[in-house]
Each structure stands twice: as structure tokens, then as C-alpha cells.
């Protein structure tokens, strides 16, 4: 167990070091992610300025800006840029071989690498995030009760794991298709609309809203924000949390299954 | 004691056959034709502990596929193989801690970090004791002369330096079996020589078993006593390097320096004249005829110097590869013709 922890720690520290190797890209990539926040605040302010009663499906302008800022926090945990395409690329160019010949687990390694990258990102982005939230504090209704706050924090951790295992599964599909860019495009399209990243899912008309409610995508952005804003009724809160945990477990098992099946059919592409 | 045992090992791939042109690209969306490629066709091989064996063969002969099978990267279509008593494609961690694979064209080190950080990771992955790790690392770094490069990001190393680091990373856990797939590819002569020297020394000192594929005969001649030649997925020779010449070369080279520039004009009667630079002539003479030709030349001409040599190894291997490739093409053509005839016959019936 100690040996395993030492491996994890070494992988983790190396991933942190690797993330910091290109200073310019790192600084630009971290700070520029705040630009969409500002544009969205302007957009929703304009939308509500043209609205007659100042509300939209139960959301005021303040609610929606607060919602959007919170989805940004959720997506900072759940988005996995380059994960699926990176795994598929390794399959295609043969770099995946090292996980076949060395006693190390591909998914575990990738998870630690992602944790390392995220931690560096959070460490640096914490200051700008805090500043944006401080400047926008009037949009928020206030802190949620302790139970909701705990659920919110847990949902962020689960959204990270769900996002990771979901995208890892997509990347591992590369063992069958080699090229997954179209699959990723479709996924990103669905993610964009049905994760609640662009707008609260309450805006969707029926039956779409019910259907989207069955998908795991809402847990990547909508759900943590809705929990913080207490949009989830108390009787459904832990039921939804359990469902989120179940989806995470499902994709964790799916990714492992795909990895083992993929290794069996792997043809050692790329020399 | 056998370290590697292979029986009837076979690996086939289904390869998409795309026809040329844009129209074919569109039709490929609806219907695709595949061809079965038999990369390894049921090979048998045994390698004992401490042997340094070279795998030779033309491109696509099945050398790298065999190494991939033995290192568990791919699963065979049929057959059996055991390395150190393990079935490679079951990928047991105990097995993966006892072998290493180095591919000359693939980088296993972290591209943006110094090699020493990758070494640290290997220490943890393979569970190497800190003292043993330091001792092995220092020894390898010293042998390969890369102490000053340890802190430099891998992306900034030259190809030769990178290969040295790859070798160190692969040997840190003191593997009992080492698979080397073209470790000197793309390296200059000096770097090739350094790697050869290192491998020879390391193998002699540690007594590990090494399987090497290389297109450079100098690698093979310098390192391996045993040579396995694979062509078309089959083993066509398993023995010494000298044995390759004895078995596959049917001529010798007779070099004669004639005295007083009195070179006969009918040298072609002895064999194919390869080089004519009076007073010297180089003639390819049939092996069976060499004794009589030599006697004849010595008896009938005034000679300054004479020598009989085997043809260069590269030449013998190249002609062997060309021959086996031709035989395979003929055999494929014959198969296609038979299939076409069967289809035509079935159509008539």
C-alpha cells in the first residue's frame, strides 16, 4: 500500500512539474479562462434587459449570473481538455505500449496526471476566481445551508471523477475506431447544451427537460450549481447525489472494461 | 536453461485495402475490402539464459511483431510462448518487472522533463530499493557517459543521447530479458559504436538474455553469436552469423593481382567479373569451383598476389531477403490465381 502511495505521489508530482514546464502557455491558459465569464455576464444582462417581467423560468438576472459563475466552478472540475483525444492519440501513435509493458495502470496513471494538472490550475486560478466572485458577490443570494454546502462540495469532487471516467471511456473507444474526433465533436455538442453549461436546464421545454434529466451530463455543470443555489428540493438532494455517484461508478467500470478489451484487440499500431 | 520458448506462434492482421482516388474513398464508406496479413506464421524458437540473439529480416518480415508478442504488447492469433515461465500477453506484473522493451523509434521518457525524473518514476513503478536504484543508475550513467545530461529536458537531447537515456530507464530494474527493437536506428557511427560497446559490456557482466532486431549488420556482427533470420513471418535461418554465409552464399570472391600487367582477356570463363582495375581483377567464383579455378590461375598465369574471400555479409543477407520476398510474392500470386480459378469454376457450376 505504501509502495502504491509512493508511485501515486511520484506520478502526481511529475505531472505538476510537467504542467509547469511551459510557463507562457500555463499562465495564458489559466488566466484567459476567465474571459468567457465576463462575456456571459454581459449576454445575460442584455437578455434580461429585453425581458418584460425580469424573470425567466423562475430565474432572475442575478440568479442566472450566479448560476453561470457556479457552472464555471463545476466545469473547472469536470472538464477534461485533451484527455479523450490524448488517449486516442496514444493508441494511434503507439505510445500506449508503455502501459502494456510496464507494471502501471493506464487509467490510474491518467487520473493522477489529471489531478496534478487540475491542482496546479486551481492553485493559480484560485486568486482570479476569488476576485471575480468577490466583484460579483451581489448576484448571489448568500451561502447555502450546511447540508447543501456539503452536497455542493461533494458534487464537485464527483463531477471531476464523472468527467474523467466519461472522457476516458470516449478516448478508449480509439481501440476500435482509432480516430475519435467526430465522436468527441458529438459529445462536446451534447455536453454544451445538456450539461447546463450554457443555460439552466429548466429553460428546456418538455419532454426534453425530462429526457436530459436522465442523462449523466447534467452532473458536469448544472447539478453542482443548482445545489449551491438550492434549486434541488431537499427530498431529492441525496437521491440525486446517489444517482451522480452511480453514474460515476458506471463510467469507472466502463472505462476499465474498455481498457482491458482494448488491450486484447490492440494491434501495436505506430511501430 | 530456456528463458524464451515459442511454439507455433502466429499473428495475423486484417488490413484495409483502400483503392486509389477520391471515388474509392467515398465507396469505402459503404464497402471495404480487407486483406489478411500473416505477420508471423507459426514460428518455433528457444532462447537460453544469457544468449544475445539477433533477429534479422527485411521490413515487414515479422521481427518487431515477434518482439511485441514476447513483450505482451499484442496477443497472438495462435500458438504458445513463455518468457521466464510467463505467458507474455497475460501481462502479469511479476513478468513486467522482469523484462524491458526498448524501441529505437519510440520514446518512453517524459518529453518535457529531465530524464532523471523519469528514472525516479521507474524506481517507484518497479519498486526498486533506493540503494540498488542509486547503484544501478550511477553505474549505467557512468558507462554511457551521460552524467551532465541528467538534468536536461528530454526534448533537448540529441537522438543518441536520448537513446542512452532510454537504455538507462529500461535497465534500472535490472531486467533478466531485454528486447531491443532497432536501438541504433538513425544514430551516427560514433553513437552506434557507443551503444554497441555498452550493450556488449552490460550483457557480458550481467549475463542477461537479449533479443535484438537491427538493420545494421555491424550491430549484429559486434554483439550476437546467434542470428535468427525471419522472412515473410517464418524463420529461414537459426544459427551463427558465419553460418549465414556458408548456407546462403553460393560463391566466393577471388581477387588476383597479375604480374606485369599481363591480365588475360577471358576472365569471364572463371566466373562473373565484378571489378576490373588492371593489374587487379575481382571475380565471383562458384563455391564448388573455387579450388579448380585457383589451381588453374596459379598454374597458368604470373601472379603477384591472390586472395579468396567470402562475399560481404550485407550482400548475402540482402540477396537472401530479395529471394525470400520473391518467393513470397510468387506464392501469393499462385494463391490469388487458385482462388480466382475456384471462383470461376464455382460460377460455371
Shared domain for B189 and B226, answered yes or no, is yes
Q: In this complex, which of A17, A264, A268 lies closest to B68 when CB atoms are compared?
A: A268
pLDDT at residue A131, rounded to an integer: 84
pLDDT of B194 above 90: no
Q: Is residue A270 part of a domain?
A: no
Q: Where do we find the cell 489531478? A: A115
Angle at B9 between CA B6 and CA B11, to 5 degrees: 145
- Partner residue opposite B74 with nearest CB, options A14, A268, A270: A268
Is B260 a residue whose pLDDT tops 60? Answer: yes
Of A186, A187, A211, A212, the closest CA to residue A199 belongs to: A212
Q: Are residue B152 and residue B260 in the same domain, yes or no?
A: no
B291-320 tens-digit pLDDT: 998 898 888 888 889 999 888 877 888 888
Task: Count A/B contacts: CB-CB distance under 8 Å.
Answer: 67
CB pair distance less than 8 Å for B117 and A104 = no
What is residue A162's predicted lDDT score, i.e. its pLDDT? Answer: 97
Whether B129 and B276 map to the same domain: the answer is no
Locate the chain A residue with the closest alpha carbon to B100: A101
Whether B91 and B120 map to the same domain: the answer is yes
Q: Which three cell numbers stand for residue B246?
A: 556458408
Q: Which residues in A lie closer than 8 A to residue B32 (C-beta atoms)? A: none
Q: Is residue B349 over pLDDT 60?
A: no
Q: Tell whether B86 is within 8 A of chain A (Cβ).
A: no
pLDDT band at B106 (very low <50, low <70, confident <90, very high): confident
pLDDT digits (tens, 9 = 90+) for B125-162: 898 999 999 999 999 998 888 899 999 989 899 888 89
Q: Which three cell numbers stand for residue A241?
A: 447525489
Q: Are residues B224 and B284 in the same domain?
A: no
> Is B338 among the domain residues?
no
Helix, strand, coil in percent for chain B, rounding step 5: 45, 30, 25
Per the model's pLDDT, the better-predicted residue between A23 and B37 turns out to be B37
Quote the pLDDT of residue B301. Answer: 84
By the 8 A CB rule, do A158 and A219 touch? yes
Domain of A167? 2-265
Contact: B120, A10; criterion CB under 8 Å = yes
**pLDDT for A270 beyond 60:** no
Does B317 map to a domain?
A: no
Residue A209 near residue A59, CB atoms below 8 Å: no
Is B120 at the interface with chain A, CB within 8 A?
yes
- B101 shares contact with chain A (CB less than 8 Å): yes
Q: What is the Cα–Cα distance from B52 to B226, expressed in whole angstroms?
A: 7
At residue A137, the pLDDT reads: 86
* B335 within a domain of the structure (yes/no): no
Q: Is the ipTM of this complex over 0.85?
A: no
Residue of A268, A269, A270, A271 to mutate, interface with B, max B Cβ within 10 Å? A268
The 10s digit of each residue's pLDDT in A142-167 is 889 999 999 999 999 999 999 999 99
Domain closes at, from B246, B261, B286: B246
> Residues of A with CB below 8 A from B121's CB?
10-11, 14
Q: What is the pLDDT of residues A156-206, one digit of tens each?
A: 999 999 999 999 999 999 998 878 888 889 999 999 889 988 888 888 888
How far from A29 is each of A32, A128, B64, B329, CA to CA, in Å? 6, 13, 40, 55
Among partner residues A101, A104, A263, which is closest to B71 by beta-carbon distance? A101
- The answer to whether position B158 is within a domain reads yes
pLDDT on residue B348: 62
Report percent pLDDT > 70 for chain B: 95
Which residues in B lie closer than 8 A to residue A21 (C-beta atoms)?
112-113, 153
Tell me which residue of A251, A253, A41 sits closest to A166, measured CA to CA. Answer: A251
How many domains is chain A partitioned into structurally? Answer: 1
Name A60's Cβ contacts closer than 8 Å, sequence gap at least 6.
Answer: A48, A54
Domain that holds residue B261: 250-309
Please tell me the predicted confidence (pLDDT) of residue B261. 65
Any chain A CB within 8 A of the CB of B97? yes
CB B263 within 8 A of CB B281: yes
Identify the closest residue of chain B to A8 by CA–CA distance: B124
Q: Out of A3, A18, A100, name the one closest to residue B73 (CB).
A: A100
Reading the block at residue B311, the C-alpha cell is: 562475399
Among B93, B118, B124, B180, most A C-beta atoms within 10 A, so best to mutate, is B124
Closest alpha carbon within chain B to A11? B121
pTM: predicted TM-score of the whole model, two decimal places: 0.81
Residue B337 lies in a domain: no
Note whether B288 and B248 are within 8 A (CB).
no
Residues in chain B with CB shorter than 8 Å from the CB of A91 are: none
Kindly report the nearest CA distance between residue A27 and chain B, in angstroms. Answer: 17
* Residues B97 and B212 occupy one common structural domain: yes
Q: Which residue has the higher pLDDT, A77 or B333?
A: A77
pLDDT grade for A269, boundaries at 50, 70 and 90? low
CB contact under 8 A, A14 and B117: yes
CATH number at residue B92: 3.40.50.300
Domain boundary among B246, B262, B279: B246
Q: Dihedrals φ, ψ of B335, to 5°?
A: -65, -45
Question: Residues of A with CB below 8 A from B97's CB?
Answer: 103
pLDDT digits (tens, 9 = 90+) for A79-105: 998 999 999 999 988 888 889 999 989
Q: Are residues B49 and B145 in the same domain?
A: yes
The residue in chain B having the minimum alpha-carbon distance to the alpha carbon of residue A104 is B125
Q: Do B97 and A263 touch (CB under 8 A)?
A: no
Give, for B275, the enclosing helix (H) or strand (E): strand B272-277
CATH of the domain at B297: 3.30.70
In tens, the pLDDT along B59-105 reads 778 888 999 999 999 999 999 999 999 999 999 999 999 999 998 77
Name the minimum distance, in Å, from the CA of B58 to any CA of chain A: 15
Given a cut of 70, whether residue B344 has pLDDT beyond it is no
Residues in Cβ contact with A90 at an 8 Å cutoff, skipping those fewer than 6 apart: A96
Q: Are B166 and B196 members of one domain?
A: yes
* Residue B32 forms contact with A (CB below 8 Å): no
Mean of pLDDT values over A57-80? 87
Higher pLDDT, A215 or B313: A215
Specify whether B158 is located in the same domain as B191. Answer: yes
Mean pLDDT value across residues A245-259: 97
The answer to whether residue B85 neighbours chain A at the CB level (below 8 Å) is: no
Residue A130 has pLDDT above 90, yes or no: no
Strand locations in B51-146 (E): 52-56, 78-83, 99-103
Average pLDDT over residues B165-184: 92
| Confidence label for B332 from pLDDT (cuts 50, 70 and 90) | low
A-chain residues near B71 (CB < 8 A): 100-101
Instruction: Please name the member of B75, B97, B106 whose beta carbon is closest to the beta carbon of A264.
Output: B75
In a domain, A197, yes or no: yes
- Asked if B238 and B279 touch (Cβ cutoff 8 Å), the reply is no
Considering the domain architecture, whether residues B96 and B234 belong to the same structural domain is answered as yes
pLDDT score for A153? 96
- Show residues of chain A in contact with B117, CB under 8 Å: 14, 17
Say if residue B210 is in the same domain as residue B263: no
Burial of B328 (0-12, 13-18, 19+ CB in 10 A): middle
The pLDDT tens digits of the residues spanning A26-54 come to: 777 766 766 777 787 788 778 777 766 67
> Is position A271 within any domain?
no
In a domain, B315, yes or no: no
Picking from B225, B246, B267, the residue at the C-terminal end of a domain is B246
Q: Which residues of A touch B68 (CB under 8 A)?
A: 268
CA angle B60, B235, B175 (to 5 degrees): 80
Say yes or no to pLDDT of A231 above 70: yes
Please classify residue A126 by burial: count the beta carbons closer than 10 Å to its beta carbon, then call 0-12 exposed, 13-18 middle and 19+ buried.
exposed
- Set of chain A residues whose Cβ sits within 8 Å of the Cβ of B213: none
A255 within a domain of the structure (yes/no): yes
Number of domains in chain B: 2
Same domain (yes/no): B207, B262:
no
Residue of B nearest to A12 (CA): B121
Is it the case that residue A16 has pLDDT exceeding 70?
A: yes
Residue B316: inside a domain, yes or no?
A: no
- pLDDT value for B44: 93
Amino acid at each position: 500500500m505504501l509502495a502504491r502511495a509512493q508511485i501515486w505521489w511520484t506520478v502526481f508530482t511529475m505531472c505538476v512539474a510537467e504542467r509547469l514546464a511551459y510557463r507562457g502557455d500555463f499562465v495564458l491558459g489559466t488566466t484567459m479562462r476567465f474571459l468567457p465569464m465576463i462575456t456571459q455576464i454581459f449576454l445575460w444582462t442584455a437578455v434580461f434587459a429585453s425581458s418584460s417581467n425580469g424573470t425567466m423560468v423562475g430565474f432572475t438576472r442575478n440568479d442566472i449570473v450566479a448560476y453561470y459563475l457556479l457552472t464555471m466552478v463545476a466545469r473547472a472540475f469536470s472538464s477534461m481538455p485533451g484527455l479523450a483525444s490524448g488517449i486516442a492519440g496514444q493508441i494511434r501513435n503507439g505510445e500506449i505500449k508503455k502501459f502494456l509493458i510496464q507494471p502501471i495502470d493506464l487509467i490510474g496513471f491518467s487520473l493522477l496526471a489529471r489531478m496534478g494538472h487540475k491542482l496546479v490550475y486551481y492553485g493559480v486560478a484560485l486568486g482570479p476566481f476569488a476576485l471575480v466572485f468577490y466583484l460579483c458577490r451581489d448576484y448571489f443570494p448568500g451561502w447555502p445551508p450546511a447540508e447543501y454546502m456539503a452536497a455542493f462540495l461533494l458534487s464537485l469532487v464527483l463531477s471531476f471523477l464523472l468527467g474523467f471516467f466519461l472522457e476516458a471511456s470516449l478516448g478508449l473507444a480509439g481501440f476500435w475506431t482509432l480516430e475519435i474526433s467526430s465522436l468527441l465533436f458529438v459529445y462536446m455538442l451534447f455536453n454544451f447544451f445538456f450539461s447546463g453549461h450554457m443555460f439552466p436546464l429548466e429553460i428546456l421545454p418538455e419532454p426534453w427537460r425530462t429526457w436530459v434529466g436522465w442523462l449523466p451530463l447534467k452532473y458536469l455543470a448544472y447539478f453542482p450549481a443548482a445545489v449551491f443555489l438550492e434549486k434541488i428540493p431537499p427530498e431529492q438532494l441525496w437521491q440525486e447525489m446517489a444517482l451522480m455517484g452511480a453514474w460515476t461508478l458506471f463510467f469507472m467500470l466502463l472505462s476499465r472494461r474498455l481498457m482491458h478489451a482494448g488491450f486484447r484487440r490492440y494491434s501495436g499500431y505506430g511501430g | 536453461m530456456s528463458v524464451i520458448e515459442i511454439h507455433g506462434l502466429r499473428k495475423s492482421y486484417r488490413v484495409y485495402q483502400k483503392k486509389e482516388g477520391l471515388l474509392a474513398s467515398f465507396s469505402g464508406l459503404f464497402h471495404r475490402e480487407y486483406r489478411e496479413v500473416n505477420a508471423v506464421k507459426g514460428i518455433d524458437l528457444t532462447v537460453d539464459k544469457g544468449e544475445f540473439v539477433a533477429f534479422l529480416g527485411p521490413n515487414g518480415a515479422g521481427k518487431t511483431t515477434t518482439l511485441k508478442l514476447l513483450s505482451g504488447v499484442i496477443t497472438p492469433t495462435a500458438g504458445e510462448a513463455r518468457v521466464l515461465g510467463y505467458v507474455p500477453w497475460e501481462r502479469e506484473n511479476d513478468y513486467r518487472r522482469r523484462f524491458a522493451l526498448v524501441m529505437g523509434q519510440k520514446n518512453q521518457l517524459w518529453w518535457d522533463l529531465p530524464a532523471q525524473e523519469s528514472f525516479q518514476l521507474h524506481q517507484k513503478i518497479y519498486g526498486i530499493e533506493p540503494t540498488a536504484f542509486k547503484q544501478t543508475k550511477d553505474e549505467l550513467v557512468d558507462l554511457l557517459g551521460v552524467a551532465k545530461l541528467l538534468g536536461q529536458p528530454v526534448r533537448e537531447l540529441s537522438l543518441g543521447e536520448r537513446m542512452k537515456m532510454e537504455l538507462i530507464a529500461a535497465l534500472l530494474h535490472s531486467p533478466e530479458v531485454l528486447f531491443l527493437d532497432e536501438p541504433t536506428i538513425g544514430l551516427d557511427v560514433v553513437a552506434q559504436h557507443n551503444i554497441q560497446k555498452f550493450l556488449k559490456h552490460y550483457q557480458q557482466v550481467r549475463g542477461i538474455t537479449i533479443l535484438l532486431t537491427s538493420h545494421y549488420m555491424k550491430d549484429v556482427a559486434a554483439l550476437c553469436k546467434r542470428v535468427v533470420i525471419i522472412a515473410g513471418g517464418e524463420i529461414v535461418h537459426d544459427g551463427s552469423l558465419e553460418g549465414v554465409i556458408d548456407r546462403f552464399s553460393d560463391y566466393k570472391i577471388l581477387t588476383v593481382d597479375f604480374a606485369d600487367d599481363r591480365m588475360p582477356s577471358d576472365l569471364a570463363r572463371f566466373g562473373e567479373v565484378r571489378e576490373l582495375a588492371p593489374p587487379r581483377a575481382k571475380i565471383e567464383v562458384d563455391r564448388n569451383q573455387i579450388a579448380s579455378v585457383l589451381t588453374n590461375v596459379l598454374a597458368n598465369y604470373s601472379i603477384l598476389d591472390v586472395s579468396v574471400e567470402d562475399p560481404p555479409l550485407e550482400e548475402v543477407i540482402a540477396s537472401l531477403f530479395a529471394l525470400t520476398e520473391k518467393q513470397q510474392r510468387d506464392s501469393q500470386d499462385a494463391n490469388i490465381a487458385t482462388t480466382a480459378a475456384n471462383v470461376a469454376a464455382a460460377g460455371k457450376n
